[in-house]
Structure 1
Amino acid sequence: MDSTLMLQTSTVLFAIAALGGAAMALMRFSGTPRPPHWLAMLHGLLAGAALTLLLYAAATTPVPASAKLAAVLFLVAAAGGVLLNLRFHLNEIALPKWLVLVHGGIAVVGFICLLLAAWTR
């Protein structure tokens, strides 16, 4: 599989994960303390699959620097997502709005970097 196809597939998976992330953020900012467990797990599963594919592409094929930057940003966003899940969501504590914003903001910047790498060659 060539790097462009892997980057594009990763982009599509991240886009689907982002829809779930946006839905969860809207829930949180509309007053719901936590999203449904199934939605959080689906979001994490899709983002994890996309990140795994992105890391594989970066480790085994030549990719643009923006794809490598995207991988780093998504790793940081993933750490925030794990923190949101394990510290707050599973303990039934309201998700901190500032952390939801930071997690999503880093992921958006990573997504833009990945879009540039995958679709502008």
Structure 2
Amino acid sequence: MLHTATLLFVLTALGGILMAGIRFARKQNPPAWIAMVHGLLAASAMTLLAYSVFTEPVPTLATVALVLFVLAAGGGAVMSLVYKWHHRLLPSWLVGAHATLAVAALLSLLMGTYGGG
């Protein structure tokens, strides 16, 4: 289950890179459908990760990743509900903070899943 969650988060990260590229290169928000797929993949992966953390022994880094992903999800929800909903350009600092948390979480999860940490 941890491996599946990790794979889903990697796919989610690819969508995040695409959306950040659109936001910064075009200076506009990415299309809503990309953001929805990104959020759906992230929520699916986080559900699997949370289930793993709460039901089976997992590396400590996987638990750290879950906490970081929850924080990153909060930033994603703010971007979606406050900015995209009102058709306001996503602030660079919020995109950066969301990405920083998500990358730290993904690296933690990768090390926990495949690095034996």
TM > 0.5 fold call: yes
Matched, 1:30 2:22: no
Check whether the contact 1:7–1:117 (CA below 8 A) recurs between aligned residues: no
The CA deviation string for residues 44-92 of structure 1, in whole angstroms up to 9 with x for no partner, is: 0000100010000000001111000000000000000000000001110
Using the size of structure 2 for normalisation, the TM-score is 0.96
Q: Distance in 1 between matches of 2:93 and 2:40?
A: 23
- Please list, as runs of the form range in 1=range in 2, the aligned pairs for 1:1-121 lying within 5 A after superposition: 6-121=1-116
Using the size of structure 1 for normalisation, the TM-score is 0.93
- Deviation of 1:30 after TM superposition, in Å, equals 0.9
Q: Which amino acid in the other structure matches residue 95 of structure 1?
A: L
Aligned residues: 116
Q: Distance in 2 between matches of 1:89 and 1:8?
A: 32
- Deviation of 1:21 after TM superposition, in Å, equals 0.5
Q: Which amino acid in the other structure matches residue 26 of structure 1?
A: G
Q: Which amino acid in the other structure matches residue 90 of structure 2?
A: L
Q: Which amino acid in the other structure matches residue 112 of structure 1?
A: L
- Deviation of 1:117 after TM superposition, in Å, equals 1.1
Q: Distance in 2 between matches of 1:16 and 1:91?
A: 27
Structure 2 residues not aligned, in runs of 5+: none
Q: Distance in 2 between matches of 1:81 and 1:54?
A: 18
- Report the aligned-residue RMSD: 0.7
